[in-house]
Structures are given as C-alpha cells and as structure tokens.
C-alpha cells in the first residue's frame, strides 16, 4: 500500500489541499518526475482539490445544523425547538381600543358582529385594515348605540377548509398557506361531514399530561417551509379525527409591526341602514410584532423547556410572559420577589412590563395577563402583581459640524439622520430595565452616521413626568 503520510486531512483551504495532493504524488515513484505545474496535471489537481473542499464545506455545514447553538437555517432551528416542545411565535397584529358611537338606530339593541372591518389612517403612507375581535350587543338609547372598549386587531380575516382523508394524509397534518398568520387569533372547528353541519370547537394545547382520548384539542407547529401546520390527537392524547370530517380554520392575516401606530379609524362595514358612526380612539394601535427570528428562537426555546410551563424563579416568569398567546409583546420585562420589594411584601411576585409601542399596559391588558398567564403558572401561595414602569426621560440637544463637500446630503438630511441615530441608540441600549446611558456611545453613534461629520457635541437634560390630580391637594415625590 502506498504511503499517505504526506496527506494533511486537517487542512481544508483550497491551496493547502492541492499542495497535499502534490506532496503525496511526488512521494510515489510513478509520478516522481512529473511536472505538477503543467496545465493538464494542474487542472486535474484543481478538480480534486475543489471536490474535496466542497465535501469538507458541506460536512461542516451539516455538522453545524445538528446543534441548536450553531444552526443557521430556520428549518434546522425549528426542528431542534420542536424537540423542546417550543412553537416559534407568529407575527402578531397591532392592537387598538376604540369607542364607537352609532346614531339613527331604530331598534332597541344593536349588534356589532365579530370581524367588523375598520380602516386606519395612513401609517408611512399605507392604510391598514383592522377588525373587531369579538361580537358586541348594546342597548339603543335615544336612537344612539355606544360600543365602548372595542378591541381592534390589525389584519384581514382568512378562512380555510380541509377534508380529512387518511389515505392521502394519514397523519392529519394540515398546512396553513399563509406566512402572515397571527396564530393568537387562530380558531379551529371540526364539522362532522359535508352533509352534517354540526361542529365541535377544538382548542390549542401543549399540556400533554392532562389529555384524554376524547379531548377536542389541536396542536400547532411551524413547518420546514416557514408556514404553520395544525394536527390532531391520535385517540390517546386528544380525540382522533375520522375520514370525512371537515376542518374549518379562521384567523387574522396581519402585517405585523408595520401595521401599528395608527391613531384614527373609520368604520368600513354597514351595520344599520341610514346609520351614522363616529370613532374615538382610546388607545392607539401598538404591540404589532413580526414573526419570531432565528436568534430569538435559539434564546427562548431552551428557557421555555426549562420552565416547563410553570414559574419558579424570575427567569421562568420572564420567559413565559414573553411567550404569551394574548398577542401582547414587550420591549422589556422585570420580575422581583416580594421579599426584595421596598417595603417587603411576602407571598407576592411583582412584574413590571414595558409594552412594545407604548409606555404602560391598560387595566384590561393587566387583568388578562394576570388571569391567563401569571396565575396559571405561579405557585399556589404566590400572588402576581403588575407594576407600571417608572420612566426617566433624556432630552438630547445635539450640535453637528459637517463638511458639505464630502456628502450629497442636505442640512435637513443630516439633521434627520442624526435624530434617527439618537433614536436607534435609545432603542438598542436604553429601552430596557437596568440599562446604562453612555455619553461616549451616543457621541459615537452620532459621529458614525455620515463620513462628512467633522465634530459634534450635545447637552443632556434628565426629565421626570408626573400626572397631577387637578383640583385637590397631593404630594408628589421625584
């Protein structure tokens, strides 16, 4: 057997691979006097070196995709997360609250159907569709119907039907062909068959320990192509579907974060003949969120697996709050025990939340989080309490000197760019609990905006805001 001591398998650069082949061939008596720089032999060695490098690169990528930490493709990350019973969050539609007044009503009551359409004011030049999330009925007083506290969700309603066929789809897995689905709005029902309109509502579940063979539940997962799939029980963990059943799904297809920040809405559907409607916004649209990123899945999946759907320590609360199914997303979450509070309050856990796109949660949102998220995961003797964040505001007055010859930008463009640089620094470094303001980092962010900036300086004012009660004496402490 020929000696192969000149082959260095640990060197995977193209040049080193080719040189290893040359060294190996030169050590053989048959090729000892060959000119390895000649065109024919050099070309053959190039082909061998390229083939070796391709195989090495491919195997390296395959090895990377085998582990959650090093995986790069979303399909691989999803597959690893699935083993931890973690479902990546879908896009979440922005949420707004309004009061709707409808005049010229001749009936004694008026019903506003679920999924009634509203149109928002332009946001970055685009009008977004919003829909109601529930059906509401109110009494009519003096020909006027008032719908207060209506919740609007950004998006368009979609419907799909799937027929169960165990021959073509033995696992009863149904893919939803919409990358923009807001899974928090997903509703699933199963109709008996095409000739029997009776149906049963199915609920989403991830708690396998409490399931029986007749529980009407469905599961959801993200497919390799990025769409979501729903599937059902096998007769042991959840009820099993039968051939001929029709699966009906309804959900809201959303624009995610892009659809937020609207503050004015117009009713688009007619709910009564000759009626006149006015809309007053009580909470502008906020909290829209895009589909969960690969980095977020890598970070959240192990923590969700560790928490196992229950909250024992602070990180469990933070993880499970960020994964809530209410469609409420947060820029920052802080949790502390009652024993750490000043003064101590034993038997409680305190949670402070900075909602995405706004400063404080509404009383309705707090109640929903406590009842549907915090209490079910808390220990029996622990009562959760939500506390509003205490904000400290920073006002920046910046002066910039720039060379007009080094940039095509106008003075207004430079001004807008510097403002955006300051906003980006704030959003990336300050919109969290326990963050630290660095004047040096802010100055670097301003100077790096454009190569034409020669120098810059700024002054800082720190501001606290209070909301005094007018007409009655009170004491305020800052």
pTM: 0.75
Q: What are the φ and ψ backbone dihedral angles of 314, each rounded to 5 degrees?
A: -65, -45
pLDDT of residue 116: 96
* Tens-digit pLDDT profile for residues 3-18: 555 556 666 788 888 8
| Structure confidence by residue, pLDDT tens digits, 282-301 | 988 877 889 999 999 999 89
pLDDT digits (tens, 9 = 90+) for 327-376: 687 888 999 999 998 889 999 999 999 887 778 888 888 998 999 889 98
DSSP 289: B
Beta bridge partners of 221: 229
46-104 tens-digit pLDDT: 888 888 888 888 888 899 999 999 999 999 999 999 999 899 999 989 889 999 999 99
b/e per residue, 274-295, with b = 16+ CB within 10 A?
ebebebebebbbbbbbbbbeee
Per-residue pLDDT of 220-265, as tens digits, reads: 999 989 999 999 999 999 999 999 999 999 999 999 988 888 999 9
> Tell me, what's the pLDDT at 9?
64
pLDDT value for 272 = 86
Average pLDDT in the chain:
89
Whether residue 2 is predicted with pLDDT greater than 60 in this model: the reply is no
Per-residue model confidence as pLDDT tens digits over 175-226:
999 999 999 999 999 999 999 999 999 999 867 778 899 999 999 999 989 9
Tokens of 45: 């060695």
For residue 478, pLDDT beyond 80: no
Return the pLDDT at 158: 97
Q: Please state, in angstroms and rounded to a whole number, the distance separating the CA atoms of residues 143 and 373.
A: 40
């Amino acid at each position: 057997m020929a000696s192969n001591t000149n082959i260095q398998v640990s060197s995977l650069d193209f040049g080193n691979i080719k040189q290893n082949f040359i060294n190996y061939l030169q050590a053989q008596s048959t090729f000892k006097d060959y000119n390895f720089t000649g065109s024919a032999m050099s070309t053959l060695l190039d082909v061998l070196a390229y083939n070796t490098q391709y195989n090495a690169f491919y195997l390296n990528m395959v090895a990377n995709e085998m582990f959650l930490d090093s995986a790069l493709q979303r399909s691989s990350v999803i597959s690893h997360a699935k083993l931890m019973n973690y479902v990546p969050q879908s896009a979440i539609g922005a949420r707004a609250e309004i009061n709707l007044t409808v005049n010229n009503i001749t009936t004694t009551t008026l019903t506003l159907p679920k999924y009634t359409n509203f149109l928002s004011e332009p946001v970055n030049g685009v009008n977004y569709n919003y829909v109601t999330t529930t059906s509401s009925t109110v009494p009519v007083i003096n020909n006027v119907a008032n719908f207060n506290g209506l919740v609007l969700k950004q998006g368009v309603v979609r419907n799909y039907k799937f027929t169960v066929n165990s021959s073509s789809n033995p696992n009863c897995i149904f893919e939803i062909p919409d990358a923009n689905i807001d899974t928090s709005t997903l509703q699933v029902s199963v109709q008996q068959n095409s000739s029997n309109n009776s149906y049963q509502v199915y609920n989403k579940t991830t708690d396998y320990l409490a399931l029986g063979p007749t529980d009407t539940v469905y599961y959801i997962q993200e497919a390799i192509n990025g769409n979501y799939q729903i599937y059902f029980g096998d007769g042991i963990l959840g009820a099993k579907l039968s051939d001929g059943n029709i699966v009906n799904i309804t959900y809201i297809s959303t624009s995610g974060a892009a659809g937020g920040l609207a503050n004015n809405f117009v009713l688009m559907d007619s709910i009564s003949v000759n009626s006149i409607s006015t809309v007053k916004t009580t909470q502008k649209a906020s909290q829209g969120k895009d589909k969960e990123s690969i980095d977020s899945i890598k970070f959240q999946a192990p923590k969700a697996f560790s928490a196992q759907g229950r909250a024992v320590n602070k990180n469990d609360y933070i993880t499970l709050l960020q994964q809530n199914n209410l469609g409420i997303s947060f820029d920052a979450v802080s949790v502390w025990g009652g024993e750490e509070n000043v003064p101590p309050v034993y038997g409680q856990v305190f949670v402070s939340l900075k909602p995405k796109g706004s400063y404080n949660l509404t009383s309705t949102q707090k109640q929903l989080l406590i009842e549907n998220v915090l209490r079910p995961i808390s220990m029996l003797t622990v009562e959760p309490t939500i506390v509003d964040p205490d904000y400290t505001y920073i006002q920046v007055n910046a002066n910039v000197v720039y060379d007009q010859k080094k940039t095509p930008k106008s003075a207004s463009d430079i001004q807008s760019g510097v403002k955006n640089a300051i906003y980006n620094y704030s959003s990336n470094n300050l919109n969290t609990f326990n963050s630290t303001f660095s004047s040096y980092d802010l100055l670097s962010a301003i100077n790096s905006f454009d190569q034409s900036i020669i120098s810059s300086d700024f002054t800082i004012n720190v501001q606290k805001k209070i909301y005094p009660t007018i007409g009655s004496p009170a004491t305020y402490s800052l």
